[in-house]
Amino acid sequence: MTIIIDQPELGSQPEKLSSETNELVLDGGFPVPKDGFMAPEINSFGNSFRDYDAKSERQKTVEEFYRINHINQTYDFVKQMREAYGKLDRVEMSIWECCELLNDVIDDSDPDLDEPQIEHLLQTAEAIRKDYPNEDWLHLTGLIHDLGKVLLHPSFGELPQWAVVGDTFPLGCAFDEANVHHKYFKENPDYNNPDYSTKNGIYSEGCGLDNVMISWGHDDYMYLVAKENKTTLPPAALFVIRYHSFYPLHRHGAYKHLMNEEDVENLKWLHIFNKYDLYSKSKVRIDVEKVKPYYLSLIEKVKPPLLIL
């Protein structure tokens, strides 16, 4: 199932982060909010965030997810999925209706949360909104960044979890050890392909992430949707949507040799976004009806305010 978004003009492309409001101060040349969102030390299960070895009720489910994911995500598989889902020829639905579908979706790859995904969308967007009140494009990005997870829903094909969620990584080059549960890549058909077994693989250093095949999932899906519909969201938003699950890069610094100058600039916004995406996960529920009017007002700027799935 495929989504089409004709996105709103929200703000403008941030050539660099602005420190013009009283909410921001410069920290090493990069603005951060004063008295802003403080990342908690433990997740809702009492463990450190993204601790894939913690003995929790989620650990076995998460590790089994990554075993299957790492075996099946191959270069050829991703190529086929991008071709199939890039047709953009399905059903019309509003952005908010799409968000509500995620009431029925739990992400098996997430060791930090077992709440419906609509909660995560709103927790992320609201935390960003509090610290960056003038960056409305970033608020909307927070709301829609995981909408591709509707592919897990029975109404839209019910793709397996390993083909929709989880950390993402490049195909066509060696699997970096920064990837979580790296050991399971040994069973991936690409692992022993000599064309894909070197650091650069089929790519050249500095080629730019746009030219790199990334494992298939909700991130790449939403990126394709926005790009093919000539979204008016800034390039930084598209970068965040496509790479927010690319933890080997933005958490561990792997694969940076493939980045170009534009990637380097956009990565700064992704680092900001990731704090809210990861650490806003909580058992504390958002009052949906209270915040809904604000997000509907952003969605109204969409022309038209519909998704085609």
Find, among 138, 140, 123, 120, the residue nearest to 31 by Cα: 138
Query: Are 75 and 190 spatial neighbours (Cβ–Cβ below 8 Å)?
Result: yes
How many helices (H) does the chain have, and how many strands (E)?
Answer: 10, 6
Query: Are 98 and 309 spatial neighbours (Cβ–Cβ below 8 Å)?
Result: yes
Annotated binding site for Fe cation: 120, 145-146, 218, 244, 277
Find, among 53, 163, 150, the residue nearest to 111 by Cα: 53
Please count the other Cβ atoms lying within 10 Å of the Cβ belonging to residue 5. 25
Query: Are 283 and 44 spatial neighbours (Cβ–Cβ below 8 Å)?
Result: yes
What are the tokens at 111? 């060791």
Annotated binding site for substrate: 50, 107-109, 149, 166-167, 244-245
Annotated binding site: 50, 107-109, 120, 145-146, 149, 166-167, 218, 244-245, 277
